Amino acid sequence: MNVTQPVPGLQHRTVLLDEAVDALALEGERAAGTYIDGTFGRGGHSRLILSKLAPEGRLIGFDKDPQAIATAEQMNDPRFSIVHDSFATMREALAARGVHQVDGILLDLGISSPQVDDASRGFSFRNDGPLDMRMDTTRGISAAAWLAEVPERQLEKVIRDYGEERFAFQIAKAIVAGRAVEPISSTRQLAAIVANAVKTREKGKDPATRTFQAVRIFINQELEDLEAGLNAAFELLKPGARLSVISFHSLEDRMVKQFLASKAKVEQPDRRLPIRAVDLPKPLMKLISKTKPSDVEVGANPRARSAVLRVAERLAVDAPEGAR
């Protein structure tokens, strides 16, 4: 199958669709601005943003997945363009297009339903398929290739740190023993090895869940991309512009929360020092909201259960008089 084309029948329900787009405050003059959808996916957020943009507005999408790019290229809107790359590169990609500031950025982290449901992508243990897990199938190393050569100690660390898996030692040991017998090339093989290594299961959760999450995050450098993307987003936002980020697991949400908090808070100097109020450090961002899906949305789409939307606004910070 040609994975560069969307797979018919695989649908994606965009989580927190209205809430994430509404948070960008696309009203009045802001509707004529430039916006970034850093995780195009199947275009749910992008289409809603475009429906609110003025004719002179502009939306630039990013995605690593060739299937997402194929979907984006079918959109017939002169205000929209797509970049086949991670949102971590948005600063350089926009500079190449003559854009240095934007009016809002939306990031919908994690993986889309079509990626999970398409067995050929190797993201899920529920259907057997090749153990790939790459979001961008045109570059990088597959999960199967990585598992064939990764040292046991590094594998344990990845499973523990990225999967928050307390049985990381046992699972890594079992994977290394399993690959000595035969190559681990399918999702079902990996899931079976993990199931045999994990004797205590969390209620309602497959024992392979955390390991699959860990390997996927590592293969796609998701946390590294998120760190770079958050820093790039902050530098690109105009004063008054909003950053809207949807996370799906605790590692992502913790990073987003800590990043926004670091920009919203400032260290206050010793009160005994003779510093004028105008020269005191000021926050760089304002925290706007934290939102979780409603019970209705979770009922209609159980995959939305763990989602958290955090929104912050870039503040205008005047330079001290002596620095002007």
Task: Please tell me whether residues 52 and 173 are part of one structural domain.
Answer: no
pLDDT tens-place string over residues 79-112: 999 999 999 999 999 999 999 999 999 999 978 8
Reading the block at residue 3, the tokens are 């994975």
Q: Average pLDDT of 13-17?
A: 89
pLDDT value at position 277? 55
Position 57 pLDDT exceeds 60: yes
58-63 and 80-84 beta bridge pairing: parallel
Q: Which long-range contacts (CB under 8 A, 24 or more apart) does 276-282 make?
A: 278/320, 278/321, 279/320, 282/315, 282/317, 282/318
Position 297 pLDDT exceeds 70: yes
Reading the block at residue 148, the tokens are 């064939």
- E-strand spans in the chain? 34-37, 58-63, 80-84, 102-108, 237-247, 285-291, 308-314
Least confident range from 12-16, 84-88, 160-164: namely 12-16
Q: Is residue 311 part of a domain?
A: yes
Residues 250, 64: Cα–Cα separation, whole Å? 22
Least confident range from 80-94, 171-185, 196-210: namely 196-210
Task: Please tell me whether residues 226 and 214 are part of one structural domain.
Answer: no
Residues 317, 282: Cα–Cα separation, whole Å? 7
User: What is the pLDDT confidence band of residue 269, given thresholds at 50, 70 and 90?
Assistant: low
Q: Is residue 282 part of a domain?
A: yes
pLDDT value at position 273? 62
pLDDT value at position 278? 54
Domain boundary among 197, 219, 241: 219
CA distances from 145 to 93, 189, 219, 275 (A): 30, 14, 10, 58
Q: Is residue 184 part of a domain?
A: yes
Q: How much is the mean pLDDT over the chain?
A: 90
Q: Is residue 125 part of a domain?
A: no
Position 1 pLDDT exceeds 90: no
CA proximity to 113, closest of 228, 14, 35, 192: 14
Position 17 pLDDT exceeds 60: yes
- CATH code where residue 60 lies: 3.40.50.150
Task: Please tell me whether residues 211 and 236 are part of one structural domain.
Answer: no
Task: Please tell me whether residues 197 and 235 are part of one structural domain.
Answer: no
Burial class (CB in 10 A: 0-12, 13-18, 19+), 256: buried
Q: Which residues participate in the annotated binding site for S-adenosyl-L-methionine?
A: 43-45, 63, 87, 108, 115
CA distances from 158 to 152, 204, 251 (A): 10, 23, 13
Q: Average pLDDT of 107-128?
A: 88
Task: Please tell me whether residues 246 and 101 are part of one structural domain.
Answer: yes
Position 2 pLDDT exceeds 60: no
Task: Please tell me whether residues 100 and 22 are part of one structural domain.
Answer: yes
Determine the structural domain holding residue 161 and report its residue range: 137-219
Task: Please tell me whether residues 195 and 286 are part of one structural domain.
Answer: no
Q: Is residue 297 part of a domain?
A: yes
Chain CA centroid to CA 211, Å: 18
Reading the block at residue 118, the tokens are 């398409």
Residues 275, 280: Cα–Cα separation, whole Å? 7
Task: Please tell me whether residues 81 and 21 are part of one structural domain.
Answer: yes
Task: Please tell me whether residues 165 and 294 are part of one structural domain.
Answer: no
Reading the block at residue 102, the tokens are 């934007």
Task: Please tell me whether residues 94 and 25 are part of one structural domain.
Answer: yes
Task: Please tell me whether residues 215 and 253 are part of one structural domain.
Answer: no
Q: Average pLDDT of 159-177?
A: 97
Q: Which residues participate in the annotated binding site?
A: 43-45, 63, 87, 108, 115
Position 56 pLDDT exceeds 60: yes
Considering its fold, how many domains does the chain have in total? Answer: 2
* Model confidence, pTM: 0.89
Share of the chain above pLDDT 70, in %: 89
More confident residue, 267 or 223: 223
Position 77 pLDDT exceeds 60: yes
- CATH code where residue 213 lies: 1.10.150.170
Least confident range from 11-15, 134-138, 159-163, 183-187: namely 11-15
Amino acid present at 280 = L
User: What is the pLDDT confidence band of residue 168, given thresholds at 50, 70 and 90?
Assistant: very high
Domain boundary among 219, 254, 283: 219
pLDDT value at position 324? 35
Domain boundary among 219, 252, 276: 219
Q: Average pLDDT of 240-267?
A: 94
